Chains A and B, each alone.
Chain A
Amino acid sequence: MNNKLFEYTLRIADDSLILGQRLSELCGHGPILEEDIALTNISLDLIGQATNLLEYAASIENKQRDADKLAFLRVDKEYKNSLLVEQPNGDFGSTIVRQFLFDSFRRPFFEALASSTDESLAAIAKKSLKETKYHLKHSSEWVIRLGDGTSESHQRVQKSIDVLWRYHSDLFYEDEVDLALVSENIAPSFKEIKKEFNQHVLAVLEEATLKLPDNNWEFTGGRKGMHSEHLGHLLAEMQYMQRAYPNMEW
C-alpha cells in the first residue's frame, strides 16, 4: 500500500510542480503587467502545493530523498504529471486554456480529496482548494473574455481548445494505483469529479461562444511516466542548477 500511496502522491505533486514551473517561465514575460503578476502568483501557489506534497511523498518513501531531491533529481520517466501540464505556454490563449482545463479538474478533485481517510492528503487538499478556487475564477473569466472577445482572440482561443482538449483524459487516467486507494477511501473516484469537470467546462465554453473539437482524440501516458517531447526540455531548465552544482543551496 505504501508504494501505491507514494505513487499517487507523486502524481498530484508533479501536476503542481510541472505546471508551476511552466507558469514561472512567464515571469517578466506576461502579456500585460497584471497577468504577469497573476500567472506567477498562481505558479507560487502551485509550487507551494508541490512542496507540501513532495515532503509527504518523501516521508512515505522513507529513503533519504527529501522534497528537493524528488523535485530536482529524478529522470523524465520518473515524473508522473499529466500530459496537459507539461504542454508549452504558447500564446496567452493557450496558457489560459491549459490552466482552465487543469483548474476545472483540480477544484472538484481537491474538494473530494479533502475527505480522504489519509489525514495528510486531506489537509493538503483543504489548503490547496482555497487557492484553486481563485485560479479557476481567473482562468474561467479569461476564457470567456477571449472567446467572446474579438474575432482574433476567439479564433486563437478556439484553436488552443482544439489542440489541448486531447490531453484532458490524462487527468482522469485511472489504474491499479488509484483503484487500490479508492477502495481504502484514500483516493476519491474520478466518476463524480469528471461529471463536475464536464459541467463547468461546457458552461464556460458556451458563455464564451466556444466549442469542444469534433474528434475524440485522447492522449494518455503521463501517470506512467510516458511523456511528450516537451517535458525533457522543461526538466533541463528546471534541473540545471542541481545537475551543474550538486547540492548547492540558495
Chain B
Amino acid sequence: MVSLKSIWKFLEEVKDPEVPVLSIIDLGIVREVLFVDQKAKITITPTYSGCPAMNHIEKDISHVLNTKGIEFVEVETVLSPAWTTDWISENGKKKLFEYGIAPPVDEPDKSILFAKPIEIQCPQCYSKDTSMVSLFGSTSCKAQYKCNVCLEPFDYFKCLK
C-alpha cells in the first residue's frame, strides 16, 4: 500500500523546469493527492495562464511516480483557486535566494503607478540598494533587477496575488 505521505515525498523530486532548485511542492502548485484503486490522482494548478512548463511538469509527475512503482497516474489541472506566490514555501524562498533569484516580497497595490519601489535584496552581495530594470523578465514569473552596489543584474520572482 502506498501512503499519501510517501507520494507527497516522491513529488519533491519533480522540479520546476525553469527554476530547477524548486520542487513543485516548494512552488505550491500541487493542490491535492489521492490514491484510490492503485491509481494516483494528482491535482496541480498553473502559476501563470500561459506557463509553458505545465506540460513538462505533468509528464515529470507521471515519470517520477512510475519509477517509484506507481503504475497508474492521472494529473489534473485546475484553475481555481488561482495560484499565488504566498503558496511558495519558506524553504522554497530560501532556495530561490541561494540560487540567485530574489524571492517574492509583499507588494503594495499594483494600481498605484510609480509607487515607491519595494526593497529587493541583491542575492549576490546582499545589498538592498537595487533597482528594477523591467517588470517583465526571462519567464512569466520574474522581473529584471540590477544591484547598484555590486552592479550585477539579477532576477526577482515577482509577487503574484
Contact = CB atoms under 8 A, between A and B. Distances in A.
A38 B113 CA distance: 17
Interface stretch (B2-10, B19-27, B97-105, B132-140): B132-140
A77 B29 CA distance: 39
Interface string A169-210: 000000000000000000000000000000000001001000
Interface of B: 46, 48-52, 78-84, 110-111, 113-114, 133-140, 144, 158, 160-161
Q: Which 7 A-B pairs have the closest CB atoms?
A: A48-B50, A48-B49, A123-B80, A38-B136, A44-B50, A34-B134, A127-B82
Contacts of B48: 44-45, 48, 131
Interface of A: 34-35, 37-38, 41-42, 44-49, 51-52, 119, 122-124, 126-128, 130-131, 133-134, 136-138, 140-141, 144, 204, 207
A127 B134 CA distance: 22
B135 to A, nearest CB: 5
A47 B79 contact: no
Given A49-B50, A131-B48, 6 more contacts: A44-B140, A45-B49, A123-B80, A126-B80, A126-B82, A137-B110
In this complex, which of B49, B80, B82, B139 has the most chain A Cβ atoms within 10 angstroms of its Cβ? B49
A41 B136 contact: yes
B82 A123 contact: yes
A7 B50 CA distance: 23
B84 to A, nearest CB: 8
- Give the dominant DSSP class at B's interface: loop
B3 to A, nearest CB: 31
Contacts of A38: 134-136
A33 B46 CA distance: 27
6 contacts: A45-B49, A48-B46, A126-B82, A128-B49, A131-B140, A144-B113
Contacts of B51: 48
Contacts of A41: 136-137, 139-140
A66 to B, nearest CB: 15
B46 to A, nearest CB: 8
A46 B160 CA distance: 16
Nearest to A35: B134
B134 A134 contact: no
A93 B123 CA distance: 35
Contacts of A52: 49, 79
B82 A130 contact: yes
Contacts of A140: 113
Contacts of A119: 80
Contacts of A46: 50
B95 to A, nearest CB: 23
A141 B135 CA distance: 11
Nearest to B81: A126
A134 B85 CA distance: 14
Contacts of B161: 130
B135 A134 contact: yes
